[in-house]
Structure 1
Amino acid sequence: MIFQTLQHNIAALAQKFDTISSDRKAQLETLSAYIEKNTALKKLQN
């Protein structure tokens, strides 16, 4: 019983970390796109 609960908790934690890392990935992609856009705009201004 305790082992089963532990397994369940570990699985839940792993799921949480997956979600966090995919959120981070999305944030990094958004930031990267923003930087690219900003760089392109600066090149146009020069």
Structure 2
Amino acid sequence: MAFNLPHLPLAAYAGQQLLLKLAVQSFYTAFTQGDELWQKLPAAPEGG
């Protein structure tokens, strides 16, 4: 990034937490809604 801010590590941490929260919500939604959402996604490789 082009920014040299003293709070950049804090911003990066907050960004990671936000992405993690969104990922958890996405997985939770997918699991609670059942298989119809997974059928829209390309097949995941086994063991991955």
TM-score normalised according to structure 1 size: 0.61
Q: Look up the match of 1:44.
A: none
**Percent identity among equivalent residues?**
9
For the pair shown, the structure with the greater C-alpha radius of gyration is 1
Deviating beyond 3 angstroms after TM superposition, the runs of 4 or more aligned structure 1 residues are: none
For residues 4-38 of structure 1, give each alpha carbon's deviation from its aligned partner in whole angstroms, at most 9, with x where no partner exists: 3x00000000000000000000000011107x6xx
Larger helix percent? 1
Listed as ranges, the gaps of 5+ residues in structure 1 are: 37-46
Paired positions, count: 32
Higher RCO, 1 vs 2 (CA within 8 Å, ≥6 residues apart)? 2
CA RMSD of aligned residues (A): 1.7
Listed as ranges, the gaps of 5+ residues in structure 2 are: 37-48
